Chain A
């Protein structure tokens, strides 16, 4: 089942109720004429009873008068009541019932009580009164997903027992739904029962549109999964974000069925350099954008080379990219965030898949093993290096790294109670890349080996409360290990980092008032790192370094082993205030985050002397605010502002290769934009952004840097631009989008230096993609991409190093030229079919069908008198298959 969203009605805090404000008039009959004078005292009403205004008459909104005859006994009690002039059965009944309870002082004749009969006008007066509604209302429309036509006679049922059936217009309405989360079930003659959940709030109306796929045949296949899609505008919690459901993401050309690879096609994401798989979002560095899987931070989204993501697509429900301006719930990064939502484990039976293509093979299994217990496991391993070794003797990794990777995930979910789950899970991933270029002169031989491993173990407790709130606690633990071993001739470079990471996220989010939803929580993280670095003091290169591809690293070497601790605990709070019938949302938030950064060596210790550690404490308050206003249901505007901080990288805290006393880097992000829903499935979104950064660590520019100050924190940055997204949700047979980002990202490394382009600046990134269902299980898709090349620093001259018999480049203006622009057309063709009760798919995913030789890097001849481009990854067909059940 999938949901596209739902809409809450405008705050209708008013509910009408009625109360009776009946006034009665008693009229006694006059005495007869001509009789001897006697003392007559009429009866006196001493106890009046107010009649209940008939609820059935309240809708009319008006009162009435009932004329009664009341028989009063000598004791003053009412003996009988008759209706003389009716005002309708309801009013009559109410008046009679009240009158029978009247108490009188009896009538007196010459001081003696006597029974009498009187006529009595009982007047009902209608008065409106405001009361607070304590329930919600539910209404909406059911439509055929493919044809968009309304569906009649669909039964809509709530787990409260309230039900209704759609009318010929496909509409339904259920009033007075108790507050809280309820299961909504849709069923009908031509519809397999499907369900979803909605959260009802007091005095609010949910207006939902559901699109379902009617049953196509009478096979009554119980394993055929019906899907429910909610297409009414959803509430967006983030000002700018792009979310893609897993089912759609797997069909995007170029992803080879890998859900998370769709992120590369989203607006705001630059095209990564070949072989890197790094995420560059809105001109920020890869290490400034953080990746989360269900609230657990992971160090990367893709394996080396960018061929695959680190998680099985069968585990992914959706992926969301927030390129900037995100709320108070996240921090510790100056760029954006990518959040991966794992699919809930709630399926009946056993499901799984096996897939293989040219690059790797994977498998997954999900099963309900007991009444409330679900398990799931997935694994993947690459074999591209083995395939290449078998078919060619060429050193294929010379220009493009050929990665070796594997990953695995495991989850166990137990339903403690309805809407309360406990999940234990783990993620593991490993990457190895090796390149070598032998040479007849050992001083020119090069080799490189990299390794990146990470693992996470987590526990997730989640409880959905009756009032619609959600409480969640996620402790996690893991280890990140990275290794780099380079050799250029006699100059080595080694860098290893083993970090134990402890994380804790706990939050509560739910309604506080009719106009306010709040989120409060705490986000804690501690990194304990052990690092070793030896070899060239200038390798690996940093952003901002001026060098050419293949250039030997500086021959000066050193060595250091150090430990760091970086910890922070961030309580945060955020409130979503809605006004004017839910058209205006103001979301202020704040994050209070004390950081502690500790290194065991503040300076290189003298031989025989113990090291002296240093600890730095900084406390930051990060205000965040976003505003969304819906001018109409179709047109909305948004704006956001936030302050962000990021701790230094452990690798930069070396007393020899870095600066142990680095402080936090900071950023301010602003964005403004608008969204127009042109049709129910077609939308256009335009967002402008501006961000400044400060306290960025850069290499010391000094000819005589201080000890333990290889890095200075004098770098500042700025990035600005606009992104456009025209998106067509799946309508009938087609879905797709067009995205374009124009931006500029700059850095200034020292006050005496001018602004220069950021190494990852990519001013134009254009992506257009679409997928079309041809029918009979065939689907075709295409993707066109255009991206500006990364900036590079030109070599304008050279001099000869006679000692090493090499030429050394002399550079022009920093990052003043660019690699040639990239463009590529990718095509995907797939065929789905049934094998018994299981599904199979075969696909051919061809990247760069035009075989355009895209430039990936600038290279020079040894004397730097000629310049050319390395072109890589031309047409790359990937044939794959997938079988799932």
Chain B
């Protein structure tokens, strides 16, 4: 990236302040990396089972992740640490880690004390101490169980931290508000890529075994799409919305399904101390083993009703195979991705 400078004119002289030119392109995959981790379901209560899958790639495409080992991290994050998790969670072999599996996939039951350890419930007191302070939620009202992912690779061990969303209820609300929240809250659903087009032409997923041909050096306008989620609840649309109940709409809410796009959900707003309706934003991470994207990240916020996001991509000038991935994140920690095999011609 070109050295970024901002300039202004003062008395006929141009003065500038500059940031250094650092390699800040994360979308180009040139070495083994963990690109994403998905849990199914995207949200679960304590004792709930999580099925975890990792997307591990290198410059040649997806790689087998048979040696990945997965751990639940049990170390709480001190207030003095401004990172998302306790640093112990990224130390392979740390006593705070509880193994849950090995391989590209793993399954584990969320610890039954997760909402006390990482949620709004009063934590277990230490010996001879009064109970401590519960964990604070994020802006979506979420609490998360850290999952440590260690993937050996040719370039050393890859370390990833995945935050599995917990269903722990709400903190700071009155009993009436808690009841309202609990009745209306719908657990998160992972977002899903419904299509990726390149200058209007849909690309085939790599899971189909097909390779997509692209012209060398010819810039493409990519657009990724995700499902449309209802902005108002309509019984029979297949989605059990916040304002629908099993009684009123058994069709949608007997076996409630979420929406793999920008879902509506309820949250407890601390400022107004009320239960409010909110809508997810979708954030898109772009990756490829060659070429260059205009932007590493694109997306929408909760007020944006678009169900797609665009980005420019310049294929390499030399022909050859390459791989591309698009990873979607929603505001509540849900993840989904799609991979594509390309052939530059």
Instruction: Confirm or deny: A477 has a beta carbon within 8 angstroms of a beta carbon on chain B.
Output: no
Among B82, B177, B327, point to the contact of A554 (Cβ < 8 A): B82
Which chain B positions have C-beta within 8 A of A707? 131-133
Instruction: Confirm or deny: A396 has a beta carbon within 8 angstroms of a beta carbon on chain B.
Output: yes
Q: Mark A383-414, 1 if CB is under 8 A from B, else 0.
A: 00001100110111111100000000000000
A862→B87 contact, CB < 8 A: no
A704 to B327, CA, bound (A): 35
Q: Mark A547-567, 1 if CB is under 8 A from B, else 0.
A: 100010111111100000000
Instruction: Confirm or deny: B232 has a beta carbon within 8 angstroms of a beta carbon on chain A.
Output: no
B17→A703 contact, CB < 8 A: no
Instruction: Confirm or deny: A492 has a beta carbon within 8 angstroms of a beta carbon on chain B.
Output: yes
Which chain A positions have C-beta within 8 A of B297? 439-441, 443-444, 805
Could you tell me which residues of chain A, from 695 to 709, have a CB within 8 Å of some CB in chain B?
Answer: 698-707, 709
B270→A803 contact, CB < 8 A: no
Among A395, A491, A706, A862, point to the contact of B130 (Cβ < 8 A): A706
A853 to B19, CA, bound (A): 11
A491 to B133, CA, bound (A): 21
Q: Give chain B nearest CB distance to A168 CB in angstroms.
A: 53
Instruction: Confirm or deny: B16 has a beta carbon within 8 angstroms of a beta carbon on chain A.
Output: yes
Instruction: Confirm or deny: A17 has a beta carbon within 8 angstroms of a beta carbon on chain B.
Output: no
Q: Mark B146-177, 1 if CB is under 8 A from A, else 0.
A: 00010000000011111100000000111001
A394 to B17, CA, bound (A): 11
A703→B75 contact, CB < 8 A: yes
Instruction: Confirm or deny: A611 has a beta carbon within 8 angstroms of a beta carbon on chain B.
Output: no
A607→B174 contact, CB < 8 A: yes
Q: Give chain B nearest CB distance to A200 CB in angstroms.
A: 53
B78→A802 contact, CB < 8 A: no
Could you tell me which residues of chain B, from 63 to 82, have a CB within 8 Å of some CB in chain A?
Answer: 75-82
A877→B17 contact, CB < 8 A: no
Q: Give chain B nearest CB distance to A809 CB in angstroms.
A: 8
Which chain A positions have C-beta within 8 A of B208? none
B270→A559 contact, CB < 8 A: yes
Instruction: Confirm or deny: B86 has a beta carbon within 8 angstroms of a beta carbon on chain A.
Output: yes
Q: Mark A357-380, 1 if CB is under 8 A from B, else 0.
A: 010000000000000000000000
Interface-facing stretch out of A218-226, A244-252, A772-780, A866-874: A866-874
Among B17, B75, B82, B298, point to the contact of A545 (Cβ < 8 A): B82
Q: Give chain B nearest CB distance to A881 CB in angstroms.
A: 12
Among A397, A439, A799, A876, point to the contact of B161 (Cβ < 8 A): A799
A808 to B163, CA, bound (A): 13
A868→B17 contact, CB < 8 A: no
Interface-facing stretch out of A503-511, A514-522, A534-542, A579-587: A534-542
Q: Mark B280-293, 1 if CB is under 8 A from A, else 0.
A: 01011100000000
A878 to B80, CA, bound (A): 43
A491→B139 contact, CB < 8 A: yes
A870→B123 contact, CB < 8 A: no
Which chain A positions have C-beta within 8 A of B19? 399, 859, 868, 870
A859 to B173, CA, bound (A): 41
Among A440, A700, A800, A872, point to the contact of B80 (Cβ < 8 A): A700
Specify the chain B residue showing the minimal Cβ separation from A803.
B163
13 extra interface residue pairs, beta carbon distance < 8 Å, beyond A545-B82, A705-B78: A387-B8, A394-B8, A396-B8, A440-B297, A441-B297, A442-B281, A800-B161, A801-B160, A802-B35, A804-B84, A805-B297, A862-B24, A877-B13
Q: B-contacting residues of A (Cβ < 8 Å)?
A: 358, 387-388, 391-392, 394-400, 439-444, 490-492, 534, 537-538, 541, 545-547, 551, 553-559, 607-608, 698-707, 709-710, 749, 799-805, 807-810, 853, 859-863, 865-879
Q: Can you name 30 A-B pairs with beta carbons within 8 Å?
A: A391-B8, A392-B6, A394-B7, A440-B295, A440-B297, A441-B284, A442-B283, A442-B301, A442-B304, A491-B139, A534-B271, A557-B136, A701-B78, A702-B78, A704-B125, A704-B126, A799-B161, A801-B160, A803-B37, A805-B36, A805-B297, A808-B161, A859-B20, A862-B296, A866-B22, A866-B23, A868-B22, A870-B17, A870-B19, A877-B11
